[in-house]
Amino acid sequence: MNALKLHRFPLSGHSHRVELFISLLGLPCELITVDLAKRAHKQPEYLALNRFGQVPVLQDGNAVISDSNAILIYLASKYGKGQAIDWLPSDPLHAAQVHRWLAIAAGQIAFGPARARLKTVFNAPIDAADAIARADALFAVMEDELQQAPFLTGAAPTIADISAYTYIAHAPEGNVSLQPYPHLRAWLARIEALPGFVGMPKTAVGLAA
């Protein structure tokens, strides 16, 4: 196979979830840093890859895929079969549970912990109190559900866990404490113990984890 090319920004949680999954799959990949500060993501050559001008973008030969969750589905479908972990189950109910969490990653996670982190790390003009409240509401639900199973959809990890992991692990950078949620923290530790795990760089802002 041709080496994958991942256009990403190192402090982007959307980028990291893809980088993490590629590493868990053991796939060779060229990491290409997109300089967001210089607006490289809004230049014509990058917009030719993703018309929305966002990271990440994955190139796999002639295939170009944007949107982090879409990339996770692509990678699991093409390269995840036959591995010890069934990253994208085909059983209808289990598949629906996975897609539920992909939707949560694009909804409650994006508007909760991810958005709170935007305020402290990137000085984005957002309502931090609202984002923190949304994060805590989400974490309360996750804390309850993770008392029932070690991973988000059952006994083994799926791309649902990979999609959710990064912004939750880095929630303290947005002043969202993980201390009230022991089952959530144990879930993070289980993901971090997976062979091939790679973390996203931490920033010196927000609360201590």
> Cβ–Cβ contacts within 10 Å for residue 1, how many?
9
Where are the chain's structural domains?
Answer: 4-79, 92-192
At 45 the pLDDT is: 85
Q: Under CATH, what is the fold of the domain 4-79?
A: Glutaredoxin (3.40.30)
Q: Which two tokens stand for residue 17?
A: 């979830």
Q: Which of 17-21, 80-84, 197-201 has the lowest mean pLDDT?
A: 80-84
| 114: pLDDT strictly greater than 70 | yes
Q: Is the CB of residue 121 less than 8 Å from the CB of residue 205?
A: yes
Strands ordered across the beta sheet of 4-8: 29-33, 4-8, 57-60, 63-66
Q: Under CATH, what is the fold of the domain 92-192?
A: Glutathione S-transferase Yfyf (Class Pi); Chain A, domain 2 (1.20.1050)
Query: Smallest Cα–Cα separation from 139: which of 171, 199, 81, 181?
Result: 181
| 85: pLDDT strictly greater than 80 | yes
Q: Is the CB of residue 173 less than 8 Å from the CB of residue 122?
A: no
| Angstrom distance (rounded) from CA 166 to CA 59 | 22
* pTM exceeding the 0.75 threshold for the entire prediction: yes
Q: In whole angstroms, how far apart are CA 124 and each of 16, 106, 168?
A: 20, 18, 18
Same fold, 4-79 and 92-192: no
